[in-house]
Amino acid sequence: MNEHVGSGAESDQTSADSHRESDAQLRGVIDEYMSAFQPEPEDAAGVRERILQLVRDDLYRGPSTNLATEQGHPFSISTASVRSIVRSAVDSVDGIRARSVDVEPAGDPEGSAAAVSLTVAMRAGISFTSTAEAIRGSVSAAVLAELGIPAARIDINAEDVYVD
């Protein structure tokens, strides 16, 4: 049995050290770029901090899925949020439990639709064919309502069966 249990303070310190190290590396890259680019001083004011803030915000949010509005305007949303939307839609279908979910940008322009791949566990005794159509309908409606884009493709793989 592991006798060492880390405290929250140790975890916070490790995270702070990691951020300082990332900031130092980013500052080095920015300084190298700025020395080669040599912008006017008034153009460079605050550039380093703005770049670092953008990177920090991105790291804080986590992985993102890049999509586009109907008009082609790009936006990004956390991948965890997209997966949560799809999982909720799948779980709303009687006798189905969402397992893995993957959503990729699709359509033209890229990201104006979503390609959804998911695995599910099914309750024993239900028909896959009719249930798969119910899953597709639920996921399609949720993606359109929550993300504002259609689901171009919804692939479903039943990987497990359960008994209540």
How many domains would you assign to the chain?
2
100 and 24 within one domain? no
pLDDT tens figures, 142-162: 999 999 999 999 999 999 999
Q: Is residue 3 part of a domain?
A: no
Q: What is the 3-state secondary structure (H, E, C) of 49-101?
A: HHHHHHHHHHHHHCCEEEEECCCCCEEEEEHHHHHHHHHHHHHCCCCEEEEEE
27 and 80 within one domain? no
Return the minimum-mean-pLDDT range out of 50-64, 74-88, 134-148: 50-64
Q: Which domain holds residue 152?
A: 66-162
- Beta bridge mates, 115: 104, 153
Q: Is residue 1 part of a domain?
A: no
- Percent of the chain clearing pLDDT 90 (strictly above): 48
pLDDT tens figures, 15-64: 556 567 767 777 777 777 666 666 666 666 677 677 777 777 666 667 88
Q: Is residue 148 part of a domain?
A: yes
What's the CA gap between 98 and 157, in Å, rounded? 10
